[in-house]
Amino acid sequence: MPELPEVEKARALVEKKAGGRVIESVDDSDSYVCRPHAPGELHDALAGRTVTGAGRVGKSFWLETDGGEGPELGLHLGMAGRIIVAGEGAGHPKPLRNPAWDRLTIAFADGGALVMRDKRRLSRAVLNPDRSNLGPDAERITREQFRRRVGRGRGPVKARLMDQATIAGVGNLLADETLWQAGISPLHPAGELDHAELDHLRRELRAATRRAHRLGGVHKGQVIPYRRRGASCPHCGEPMERGKVGGRTTWWCPACQP
């Protein structure tokens, strides 16, 4: 599933390959992915506009048009979405090659296109997306914001990390990798972490995100290959433990993450 590093790669690809190009047409005929817009509504809003940038908060990103004077096109990759521009792709860790999975196509006046491909049809495209329900971006959240937002409540800390209204961008794999690196149990009540533990957790989140950027995705994390039955912790050799946190399958080392 695309998480913050994969989405940032897609955003950067759009900015690099689509920036400065004029939109000639938009195929928005997939009314499920483009809901609540009717077919043709995205085309009418965007045709003739120039892509002038791309922004991101958490796992959501958007195209900016006409230097901020035109509408934004918000994109969310869902669980298996991938963005392809000029033959180069980013998003889902595995390349998606079946054109039958193309859910949105933006054709440019100078030739070529931006395509959102999604075999599971869980991606979204929406005009002028509302981002008011998102917390601070996980890469840019300050120490004080992290303490205040993550370090409260009686619920498990992993659930707090994955709550997009608390902090935007942390998914299941990134949360497991971060907590393992920090030596904190995903079941630990968030409100019982002191400032030193929260500061350490924030540093490990930033480090895990940087590694994912460098290596090509969250799936390249150090503990991710050991999130399976019969696997042992790569640090201490203790069998990995499996459970559910916030409705998501969670893996941790009971020895390294007491």
The residues annotated with a catalytic role in the active site are: 2-3, 59, 248
Q: How far apart are CA 138 and CA 40, in angstroms?
A: 35
Helix, strand, coil in percent for the chain, rounding step 5: 30, 25, 45
Which two structure tokens, joined as six digits, stand for 150?
């993550």
Q: How far apart are CA 80 and CA 120, in angstroms?
A: 6
Closest CA to 67 of 53, 46, 47: 53
Q: How far apart are CA 148 and CA 152, in angstroms?
A: 7
Q: In what order do the strands lie in the sheet with 102-108?
A: 23-27, 102-108, 113-118, 81-85, 88-91
Tell me if residue 197 falls in helix, strand or coil.
helix
Chain centre to alpha carbon of residue 182 = 21
ω before 36 within 30° of 0 (cis)? yes
Exposed, middle or buried by CB within 10 Å (0-12, 13-18, 19+), for 26?
buried
Task: For strands 113-118 and 102-108, give the pairing.
Answer: antiparallel
Which two structure tokens, joined as six digits, stand for 103?
């859910």
